[in-house]
Amino acid sequence: MTSTGSLPPSVPRSPQAEPGRVIISAVARHTDKSTSRFREPPDPRFWRLNRSIDFDRHLAPYDVAQSRAHAKALNRIGVIADDEIKVIDEGLAAIAGELEAGEFAFEPGDEDIHMAVERRLGELIGELAGKLHTGRSRNDQVATDICMAVMDAANGAGERIAAAMRELLRLADAHKDWTMPGYTHLQRAQPVYLGHHLLSWFWMLSRDFDRFAAARRAAAVMPLGAGALAGVNWEIDRRAVAADLGFDSVTVNSLDSTSNRDMVLDYLSAGSICLTHLSRIGSELVIWSSTEFSFCQLSEPFTSGSSIMPQKQNPDSAELLRAKAPRVIGDFTTLLGVLHALPLTYGKDMQEDKEPFFDAVETVEGTLEMTAGIFEGIEFDRERLQAAAGDEMLAATEIADLLVRRGVPFREAHGIVGDLVRQCVAEGRNLSDLNREELAERSAELDDEYYEVLKQGSWLESKRSEGGTSSASLAAQIELAKARLAEIA
């Protein structure tokens, strides 16, 4: 398998056929062999829902690659002769070329991608195409296709996450000494460096990278060879096929092989968490870029105007970051619902795994690409950030810690400082406006050092713990971030 980093583009749709034509084609497929179980065509009301070609055509490149590897395996055990394997492989290569060029003609009677490829191979090489389905079922065939698709999609997500992380690290390094307020409950809490805050997003995405990598590993176990459910009658070298297709190993239980869609759930779970993280980043960007905050401004290519208000520059890209998460979460819960209480092994219910997966892949990849683009052009307002970080109320914890260092229990210190804050809020004063007598009324431990603590620089540099916001801790964190990127890029 050649990893493209994402799912292949959808092959252009053929014109929608009339129901009658669909039935004729379906009848032809059912009656061209004397051993066919069916003599009546599918009802068009059933056929519209049963036919999956409109969405599983995404799997076409994987299905062809899998068929070529399977043909080699059949050749190794003598089912396909040496002169036949060349013809079959050339036919499949021609189909791969048609798909790549968007020239593959889907027919109204093509129920799914597997039958479409088999039909076209028959058109190209004749009855020899019928040998290819020896030793496999559409059950293990589709499971293998979807595993290959998940591996590529997980790789694609990882590449896009790494790109966003690179931009975040660049921004964090450039703004490592810019101060800003940190928040809890969207209320100013304690000051931090902007670089420290940006790296909090970096580490969120780092965990997302690991989750997609885990989804890729889960998908890298090949089901082909499980047959319909019980295995196959041919001693096919499954591990050789797995190596040809880029799998790490093969499944160990045929029943589990055809019924398993955990790898899709793993991707959808990783996508749901990743886009939830992006929604939080998007929310902060919307808030920070508002006139009331004015901490940052998104570049024009990632904003939109108003149809009526000429002054508007709306952070639509950041708003879309917020909005895309529920869509992928919905895809995840859809597949969970499909698989819930489903008896082993294969049921047609499992056809419903593909549309939520394909939708999620498109959404995840597009959203991650937009995220990197936002970071590329964002600009921050240093004066605005510094002014907000200069609010003396953010130093309240520092005053409490001063009292603790002098032997006052923290809970008592908390109450003393809370009383000072209450007085300042009621009187419209700053903490530094309180005189020595007012301080002494609250605690004998409050002296001139109180005023030194209120000097802004000490608020950040006092956070010296590993992972804190002090300059030294942030410098160490930046080095860790560089090492992490070197590891995954």
The whole-angstrom separation of Cα 268 and Cα 245 is: 23
The whole-angstrom separation of Cα 437 and Cα 456 is: 23
Residue of 185, 307, 340, 465 marked catalytic: 185
Q: Where are the alpha helices (DSSP H) in 51-137?
A: 53-56, 60-76, 82-101, 113-125
Closest of 131, 138, 143 to residue 75, by C-alpha:
131
Is-catalytic flag, 185? Answer: yes
Residue of 249, 290, 304, 306 marked catalytic: 306
Determine the angle formed by the axes of helices 471-488 and 138-174, rounding to 10 degrees: 150
For residue 296, what are the β-bridge partners? 380
| 176: amino acid identity, one letter | K
The whole-angstrom separation of Cα 166 and Cα 178 is: 19
Residue appearing with tokens 């892949």: 361
Q: Check if the beta carbon of residue 175 is closer than 8 Å to that of residue 454.
A: no
For residue 190, what are the β-bridge partners? 182
Determine the angle formed by the axes of helices 138-174 and 354-377, rounding to 10 degrees: 10
**Strand, helix or coil for residue 249:** strand
Cis upstream peptide for 345 (omega within 30°): yes
Cα angle for residues 302, 303, 309 (degrees, 5° grid): 165
Q: Check if the beta carbon of residue 193 is closer than 8 Å to that of residue 174.
A: no
Phi, psi values for residue 250, rounded to 5°: -125, 160
In sign, the C-alpha dihedral spanning 99, 102, 107, 108 is positive
Q: Check if the beta carbon of residue 189 is closer than 8 Å to that of residue 463.
A: no
Is-catalytic flag, 306? Answer: yes
H or E, element range at 469: none
Cα angle for residues 172, 481, 471 (degrees, 5° grid): 55
Strand 379-380 versus strand 179-184 pairing type: unpaired
Q: Check if the beta carbon of residue 241 is closer than 8 Å to that of residue 69.
A: yes
Residues that are catalytic: 185, 306
